[in-house]
Structure 1
Amino acid sequence: MHAPATRWTTRTAKLLRTTVLSLLAAVAAAGMSAGPALAADGDVTWTVRTASNSYGATRSSYSYNVNPGGTIEDGMVVANRGKAPLNLTVYAADGFTTDAGQLDLLTRDKKSVAIGAWVHPDSASVAIKPGKTATVPIKISVPDNATPGDYVGGILTSLTQPDQAEGINVDRRLGIRIKLRVGGELKPALAIEDFGVDYKGTWNPFGRGDATITYKIHNTGNAALSSEQAASVSGPFGLLRTKAHDLPKTPELLPGESWQVTVPVEDVSPAFRLAAAAALTPLLTDPSGSITPLDKISDTAHAWVVPWTLLLLVVVVVAAVVVAIRLTRRNRVRRKQREDARVQEAVEQALRGPKA
């Protein structure tokens, strides 16, 4: 049995003679089931899987190590599970990471420069009778000047059908991921960029607010990398530290790709000068699926946080204390003056003697 590959769906809408392309990706993660990847819609159903050969019999996707100038020959098995003959288009395309963190493939109208340009199916189409299978040989030719590192793409089967009810053409795509590591020096590297922190306080002078840490993860190396994240916010000298909890692992980024991260940190003390810190542990996956954690990278950012309501309360309290002290002193002086006046009057009266 074979683990699933990946399914992509594209709709080409025709409106006022203008063609609108939109990509709808439904990704079936490798290993979720024991069967091949399946495309089904009414009476049209087909599957794709990797061919069984010296590279393996139960592969969920294609994964190779090859040197610049090298070639690889493999195959994809396509099965028609429907009741009508199928004529499928076969082609390769470069991969990219979507905003949702999923791997997707370029549409046919976009130019591929790596996997999509190096992978060549034996035929641009395949015709399959109902209940039959066909093996499509594929050849990968890596250029002599290929840059070492990781490349990801896929080999696709495609069927375009008109949808009379909606007046559109539906391009259904079913494919298998290809990960290629070109030999040479591997330089895995992630960078944290555009790091910042923002704080939103509360009117409660003794309350805590919420901080938001933002940064961009940039794959500056030549290897595909995911990463584990950690983030925290603290006051001066590391006091009053608050950690962000349950941060997810970032998606695997291809060389050159970036991923925007927003981390909310709740219950943060407004400690005048906040320090936000983020740390990433890059994770390198080799062709066998083994994951190796690399050295951590980190960055920090600072923000002034003035607890205005608390300061206002302190000012009011201090002002009240000052006024109370001044009033107390003034009353004490007045009492002393009245007492001195009574004493003076008594002395003068005693000096004058008793009245006749």
Structure 2
Amino acid sequence: MEQLYAKVLDQIAKSTTSIVDISESDFGLARPYKEDISEMIQLLKPKYFLPIQGLYRYLIVASNIAVANKVKRQNIIVLQNKRSANFIDGSLFSRKKISKGEEEIYVSGFGIGDVCFRVLKERDALSRNGLIIVSFLFDPIEKKIFSTPEITTYGILSRENREAYYEIIRKIIFNNFSNIKKINDKILKELQQKSQKNIKRKLLRIFDKEPSVSVLIHNIYPEVKKMKKMLWKQAENELKTGVVYLEFAADWCNDCKMQEPVNEELSKYFKDRSDVKLIKVDAEESKLFRQKGTKYEVLFVPTHFIFKDGQILFKQFNYVPAEVLIEKIEKALNS
């Protein structure tokens, strides 16, 4: 304690040229003087007296002053920690424990506004060594970085040399995330930690500082190819070339709603395929619904077709599982 006291005095002396010593006789107490307590009791004439500030011995001293000023000793309440005095209609009810009434609420202030040592230590490290945040978009399907890494720094890089070191950091990121053969959550976390360590080591050699580094990876997924909703005239032109899966559907049809998850599965299965087209047409808009004698005869919804170069290879009414449609489409592609 004495060493710390001397160290603080030295720091004060280094930071200012005007220092004034105050003698002990000029110091004031942080607790009330005997005269203050006596005057307060004589003025207020309290029935009960509760000293509340200072060490236990100071509470006893204040109690003795109250007795000297004609306060009954049985009405002097010296409370220890975790004790309370409860009053009902102006009379002391209890001083042993907290009694909660119907309209009384006890509010504990424990833990409010305090900061743990770990947080203080982290803040001290940030103030001395700085902070670097690197964020970028990553495509886990293609296994590559989708955007230029954005870098934010605090307390380590100046405006003059910032861009040069940004390029060093970006190079580390691109090197770690290139030529990835396999990707999952575990591998992604390992690459994240590796990048943070590499950036710390590089900057430690340059600045002799080890900043806190946070690498934030935002995964993005390309939009899945979906079935195209078309007007019948437009869809009819698409049927003339290549392999086409066509569904006639209607908004009011329950079986069509059951078919929606199947359509999503088809879209995912063929998302990277350019040799097949997935098309949906409103059966009522096409004016083919329940029209007998036409080329397509869409008598029910949903009605499923698979075409190849304008020729019908498959036709079926109502619900059809995804595996059946995938098998038929693959067969059409290979025929």
TM range (shorter): under 0.3
User: Looking at both structures, which has the greater relative contact order when contacts are Cα pairs under 8 Å and sequence separation is at least 6?
Assistant: 1
Q: Which structure has the larger Rg over C-alpha atoms?
A: 2
Q: Which structure has greater helix proportion?
A: 2
Q: Which structure has greater strand proportion?
A: 1
